[in-house]
Structure 1
Amino acid sequence: MVLMFPGQPSRLAALCLSAWCASSLSLAQSLPEITVTGARSAQARAETLADITVIDRDTLSRAGQDALPQLLAREHGVEIAGNGGIHNSTGVFIRGANSNQTLVLIDGQRIGSATSGGASLDAIPLGSIERVEILRGPASSLYGADAIGGVINVVTRQGEAGPARLTATIGAGSDETVRTQLGVSGGQEGWQYAFSGNYGRSRGFSVIANRGSSQFNPDRDGYAERGASARVGYQWQPGQSLQASYLSSRVNSEYDGSKTGYDRTRQRVSALNLASLNQLTPWWHSRVRVGETLDDSTTYSLYPSQIRTQQRQYSWQNDLTLAAQQQLSVALERLEETVSSSGFSGQAPTERNTDSLTAVYRGQFAAHHLQANLRHDHSSAYGDKTTGGLTYGYDLNPHWRASLSASTGFRAPTFNELYYPGYGQTQIRPETSRNLEASLRYQEGGSQAGLTVYRNRVHDLIVSQNPCSTPGYRYSCANNVSRAVLEGVSLGLGQQWADTRVRADLDWQNPHDANTGKRLARRASRLAKFSVSQQWAGWDLGAEWQLSNRRYDNVTNTNPLGGYGLVNLTASHALNRDWQLQARWNNIGNKQYEQAKDYATAGSSVFVSLVYQP
């Protein structure tokens, strides 16, 4: 858990407040205490009122055999449900919300499937990521559709001024898993750059655990992954710069779709971002950005399919300093979505456009902190939606801060829910949500604590209604027939001594169908996550313990999934100034458990890496 506390920002942090650090090549490294997702512009963590966690570069470099969803699952309020290995279909639930109710960004640009909903998080290569910011709670008033549960913002690797610097990693482990990464970064005479490439493969394991399943196939289901990223920027005079970034990743993963077939899925994710950052006056910073993202998935099996979403995004954001400790950000945006799907008929629409206007005000008045967000979206598919958010924080003393927040959110219907033959309905309305939360946070020296209580009510929930109440549908259809309540309490504790770090996160949650009272599928009511690290004799040793109680695989709560506890161990040792040895041992007790009915999960696995980082 990242905890935010009272205090004044440093001079450098104050300068950064007028820029979007996700588009900067150097600020994230020189100012590690800066976050950007909570207000669409850079903030010192001491000023941030939202519930935000940052997964930093050091944590990413120690991921070993894991993909991004596994790292997210170690943070408070986050669960995952995977259909087998790390590159098979994986759902990510923030505060109990559905996967398609969490917005995913790469460098501030939307990415995901507009047909099925959700994003291919596992396909984003860790070697190309600088940090990941997790914002919990509705954020549609900042980013528009789909941010009911929260926002995951992936910031790609960034360069810094200086001579060219080479980094490399090679590792191997259980299931014949191999991963490599090579990068170079640097900058001079106004230029900054960072390039990275990665490759990996694994034999994996059979993703179906139930031998009685009609899809069970005893063969191993492995994967191959490769990706690259590049970021280049040029500051042609102080306060004026041009920047470009690109990320591309391809993953071929096998799965069990039949008893004898060779079933596999090819995923491709890419993101292109061009930006001009201009300090027009001492109080006015402008950012013009053009971007394009792609989420493409093709399945090769007895029932082949292809779904593809391309999103072009244009934005102009102006960050204005109104007075000391008061900022206003105003953004105009346009989103153009184009989809293709093998399941669509020729008459189904394949495009929709959304125009948006966003305003964010932030003010600090002695011990009082205020943030107000307002956004209006106009979509060619579902009409107009206006969302808002208001957060007030009060510094009880130099170590304690209390805050109260109210916000609204919405999720846009997917193309499948609107147009899929025999299932979609064009009159489907967006899901809407209203959230209230209160928090209390503390820090003094190496001691940290945070308590958050929230209640998020979701209306017009889109579900598969079977039988369909609309005449003309033979079987099920998408319909606005449900309501959900996402409520819970998060408690985080942390302590750091000279060579020891301890962290504990506890979540009590009740994500349930408001009509039936049944818990939402694949979500626990209690989660606990503990970690400890200790430096000893030149080694950095760590242990992680994740616990989840019983969940249900269906909405009627008749198919239980047993609770589980996982213990992971980590170790790293500096061989010399430039070389480091890292090791990760996941699930040391070889716990057999399910995140989705009949699907296997990884058993005990070890991964060892050699890292070159001068």
Structure 2
Amino acid sequence: MYHSSGITNRNTAVRYVTARRGLKLSLALLLSTSSMAFAEEEEAIVLNQVVVTASGSAIDKRDAPASITVVTAEEIAKMPAQDVRDILSKVEGVTVGRAGNANTIQIRGLGERYTLFLIDGKRVNSAPNMFRGNDYDSGWVPLDAIERIEIVRGPMSSLYGSDAIGGVINIITKKVTDAWHGSVTTDYTLQQNRKAGDSWRTGFYLSGPLVKDKFGLKLYGSWDHRNADDPSLNPNAALAGFTESDSKFIDATGTWTPDSQNEFDFNYGYSRKAHDNYPLDRHALSLTHRGDYDFGTTELKLWGDRVHNYRGHGNTLGVDQPNTAYNAGIDGKVVLPVDMMFDQKLTIGGSHRYQSIDDPYVLTGEGGTSSSVWQSALFIEDEIKFSDDFLVTLGNRLDYHENFGAHNSPRVYGVYHLTKELTLKGGWSSAFKSPTLLENSPNWRQISCGGSCYLLGSTDLKPETSQSVELGLLYEGAIWSGGVTAFRNDLKNMIPFPPNRTGDVTEATKYPNFVGFTPDGLPMFTYENVDRARTQGIEASVSVQPFDGWTFKANYTFLDAKNLSGVERPLAYQPKHSANFGVDWQATEKLNLSVNVNYVGKQYTWVPASGNLEWASKMDAFVTGDVVASYDVNENFTVRGGVLNVADKTVTRTVGDDFNVDGRRFFFSATGRF
């Protein structure tokens, strides 16, 4: 009733998986021996994994017109992860920006400001509340509530509009179930170095029907906490290690299925996250309708949230200067099967989004203490099946921005199954990112330079744009699978973040973005479109199951990320090489053992505009390894434990641009289910 993303996914299994592929898999299962049947069944599960983020409708992952990785709830349960960032850091093409220990997610060399975060397909954005950047948007959902995470690497503006230049991360929560189920999980991570902060997490999940076959409910909550590191942990005690973080969640969704053609979700969620004494809370509401009719399927979402920052942007040290941001939108689409020369799926949709912020402490210009912007869009996507083995996706999105007018984002992507196991993928896409609400607000005046200069918003800014190409070869077999993808992304009209500035009143006038002095003589600077960047590289992954109970996984990313403005120079926090290796062993029916090793190559943490790398800040490569065991005491109770960073490879801050990596830790967890 409520499983597998509701009506749309159930219909996808019937309407969109080809009869030819289903017949082949069925015959393979019937004709093979018992051991081969198991292998083919595993292959079928992989081939029929449905994803919803990479195209206008649910689609077999193998046919998806994008480079996409899926992390399932079962995989998350085996990880000693504290939050979503711990999970994403193990995915090829994804790196972690660690400036000042604020760990942010980067895709293909582009920072988190170029990554679009979605929760069940609805965007989240707390950038206006903390303009210098934050790591909040990757953590509004607790791990206990996640069904899977879909990571799309590469631009997706044709479907999602602004902010999706680097890629899209869609956190999909568990669905309402047709029988009552629940779980409670608690874990604790103990630092061997008692100067480092311990962490703990507890959460619950509950779901089931209130009215059989008509109305169901899911409810989840969590409390995650990490203690602050002792100031003496770092060699330079003036630089903080990991600060205290505290996150609380509660979320409820009701699903009403009045008949076989219609399904409604009603959702309310509250989250409160506090990092480094900056507490933000978020209230979110949404209403979703999914329809399954003779002509096709439909989806309509109305959503909104309110994010409140109790501390504000910090114009006055030690003084609370709160702000509140509001996001709201409506998204709708219809998916139409078309039989015209070739089998096609035509997706037509539109959206309208509104964003505003109230901040009497930084919005002090002529425009008043609030600022807002709206944006509307129409999009179309055509998935053309020229044969069972050759699919082409054509798409375009026309956005109309209140301040920047119309912007097109076309893309073309092809998928060709060379054999049942081997697939060739590739495509071209364009993308754009509009300036943030504050960057584009003429009444925004933000103090900077340690209090000796100001940053001003600018109405002269243009959207940042990109062109991207990729080509990949993927293999999905009964015993092993893997793939390799080459990509390149060229980004223009980049807005430097933060912009060039100085507190020196003599030098300030020489800066091209200098706009004058305040009445008390402080220089003022504005944002500008001046930078260009290029990121290119290779992503590779492999998974092998050589015999029953054993799984070996590895991935590797080569990344060449450069700022091309002026003197060519590397982008900060972008390691050229990164890799992950894991072994999973189902030792017995109840006991599972896993080993995971993570390699992060050397990286620059600050690069001067002159490109003189002798003056740059750099961190050496490091390797960490984890060992975790999981034991099912019975069908309702599981315990886990392990050692994280077994070799105790620590990284500590010595200058402001550095970051910390926790040393050896001991992990304990227990889950009860009913």
TM over 0.5: yes
1:146-173 Cα distance to aligned partner (Å, 9 max, x none): 10100011112212212x2121112223
Which residue number in structure 1 is paired with residue 37 of structure 2?
none
The CA deviation at 1:502 is 0.7
The CA deviation at 1:479 is 1.2
The verdict on how the C-alpha distance between 1:569 and 1:309 changes in structure 2, with shifts beyond 3 A counting, is: farther
Which residue number in structure 1 is paired with residue 111 of structure 2?
98
Match of residue 532, structure 2, among 466, 474, 483:
483
Match of residue 223, structure 2, among 199, 208, 214:
199
Contact 2:12 2:58 in 1 (8 A): no
Deviates more, 1:379-388 or 1:292-301: 292-301
Query: Superposed, which structure 2 residues align to 1:47-446 within 5 Å?
Result: 47-83=63-99, 89-115=102-128, 116=131, 120-162=137-179, 164-174=180-190, 175-187=197-209, 188-206=212-230, 210-212=234-236, 215-216=238-239, 221-253=243-275, 255=276, 264-279=277-292, 281-299=293-311, 302=318, 304-323=320-339, 325-341=343-359, 342-345=361-364, 347-348=366-367, 350-366=371-387, 367-419=389-441, 420-421=444-445, 422-446=455-479
State the alpha-carbon separation in 2 of the partners of residues 83 and 284 from structure 1.
47
The CA deviation at 1:408 is 0.4
Contact 1:110 1:293 in 2 (8 A): no
Which residue number in structure 2 is paired with residue 505 of structure 1?
555
The verdict on how the C-alpha distance between 1:487 and 1:502 changes in structure 2, with shifts beyond 3 A counting, is: same
Is structure 2 residue 559 aligned with structure 1 residue 546? no
Contact 2:514 2:526 in 1 (8 A): no
Residue identity in the other structure for 2:493: D
1:172-225 Cα distance to aligned partner (Å, 9 max, x none): 231443321122112222222211111233323247865546x4469x843332
Deviates more, 1:176-185 or 1:110-119: 110-119
The CA deviation at 1:98 is 1.6
1:277-302 Cα distance to aligned partner (Å, 9 max, x none): 223x3122222210013444333862
Query: Superposed, which structure 2 residues align to 1:585-596 within 5 Å?
Result: 585-593=643-651
Deviates more, 1:285-294 or 1:310-319: 285-294
State the alpha-carbon separation in 1 of the partners of residues 181 and 551 from structure 2.
30
Is structure 2 residue 568 aligned with structure 1 residue 568? no
The verdict on how the C-alpha distance between 1:599 and 1:403 changes in structure 2, with shifts beyond 3 A counting, is: closer
What SS does structure 2 have at the residue aligned with 1:465? Answer: coil
Is the helix fraction higher in 1 or 2? 2
1:444-491 Cα distance to aligned partner (Å, 9 max, x none): 212111110111000001001345313524354321111000100111
State the alpha-carbon separation in 2 of the partners of residues 445 and 31 from structure 1.
10
Residue identity in the other structure for 1:477: T
> Number of matched residues?
579
State the alpha-carbon separation in 1 of the partners of residues 284 and 633 from structure 2.
36
1:43-96 Cα distance to aligned partner (Å, 9 max, x none): 1223213111111112333444521111110111111123566xxx32211000
The CA deviation at 1:267 is 2.3
Is structure 2 residue 576 aligned with structure 1 residue 525? yes
Which residue number in structure 1 is paired with residue 4 of structure 2?
none
1:377-420 Cα distance to aligned partner (Å, 9 max, x none): 11112222110110012121111111220000111101332233
The CA deviation at 1:107 is 1.1
State the alpha-carbon separation in 2 of the partners of residues 78 and 207 from structure 1.
30
Which residue number in structure 2 is paired with residue 459 of structure 1?
492
Is the strand fraction higher in 1 or 2? 1
Residue identity in the other structure for 2:469: L
The CA deviation at 1:129 is 2.0
Contact 2:514 2:524 in 1 (8 A): no
Contact 2:99 2:605 in 1 (8 A): no
State the alpha-carbon separation in 2 of the partners of residues 554 and 397 from structure 1.
46
State the alpha-carbon separation in 2 of the partners of residues 127 and 229 from structure 1.
12
State the alpha-carbon separation in 2 of the partners of residues 49 and 287 from structure 1.
20
The verdict on how the C-alpha distance between 1:583 and 1:299 changes in structure 2, with shifts beyond 3 A counting, is: farther
| Structure 1 segments unaligned to the other structure (5+ residues) | 1-8, 18-28, 256-263
| Structure 2 segments unaligned to the other structure (5+ residues) | 1-8, 18-44, 191-196, 446-454, 502-507, 517-522
State the alpha-carbon separation in 2 of the partners of residues 306 and 593 from structure 1.
34
1:290-315 Cα distance to aligned partner (Å, 9 max, x none): 00134443338625454443210112
Which residue number in structure 1 is paired with residue 39 of structure 2?
none
Deviates more, 1:460-469 or 1:437-446: 460-469
The verdict on how the C-alpha distance between 1:313 and 1:377 changes in structure 2, with shifts beyond 3 A counting, is: same
What SS does structure 2 have at the residue aligned with 1:472? Answer: strand
Which residue number in structure 2 is paired with residue 600 of structure 1?
660
Contact 1:56 1:131 in 2 (8 A): yes
The verdict on how the C-alpha distance between 1:168 and 1:545 changes in structure 2, with shifts beyond 3 A counting, is: same
What SS does structure 1 have at the residue aligned with 2:456? Answer: coil
Is structure 2 residue 13 aligned with structure 1 residue 13? yes
State the alpha-carbon separation in 2 of the partners of residues 500 and 124 from structure 1.
31
State the alpha-carbon separation in 2 of the partners of residues 61 and 480 from structure 1.
44
Deviates more, 1:57-66 or 1:454-463: 57-66
State the alpha-carbon separation in 2 of the partners of residues 573 and 53 from structure 1.
27
Which residue number in structure 2 is paired with residue 42 of structure 1?
58
1:403-440 Cα distance to aligned partner (Å, 9 max, x none): 22000011110133223323322111111000011111
Q: Which has the larger radius of gyration?
A: 2
Deviates more, 1:43-52 or 1:367-376: 43-52
Q: CA RMSD in A?
A: 2.6
Contact 1:173 1:606 in 2 (8 A): yes
The CA deviation at 1:243 is 1.2
The CA deviation at 1:226 is 1.3
The CA deviation at 1:545 is 0.9
Residue identity in the other structure for 1:59: E
The CA deviation at 1:325 is 4.0
The CA deviation at 1:498 is 1.5
Contact 2:290 2:298 in 1 (8 A): yes
Which residue number in structure 2 is paired with residue 24 of structure 1?
none
State the alpha-carbon separation in 2 of the partners of residues 130 and 250 from structure 1.
21
The verdict on how the C-alpha distance between 1:599 and 1:271 changes in structure 2, with shifts beyond 3 A counting, is: same
The verdict on how the C-alpha distance between 1:46 and 1:599 changes in structure 2, with shifts beyond 3 A counting, is: closer
Residue identity in the other structure for 1:53: T
The verdict on how the C-alpha distance between 1:207 and 1:491 changes in structure 2, with shifts beyond 3 A counting, is: farther
Residue identity in the other structure for 2:354: E
The CA deviation at 1:32 is 8.0
Contact 2:82 2:201 in 1 (8 A): no
The verdict on how the C-alpha distance between 1:11 and 1:482 changes in structure 2, with shifts beyond 3 A counting, is: closer
State the alpha-carbon separation in 2 of the partners of residues 80 and 208 from structure 1.
25
Residue identity in the other structure for 1:613: R
Which residue number in structure 1 is paired with residue 194 of structure 2?
none
Residue identity in the other structure for 2:149: V
The verdict on how the C-alpha distance between 1:104 and 1:584 changes in structure 2, with shifts beyond 3 A counting, is: farther
Residue identity in the other structure for 1:100: R
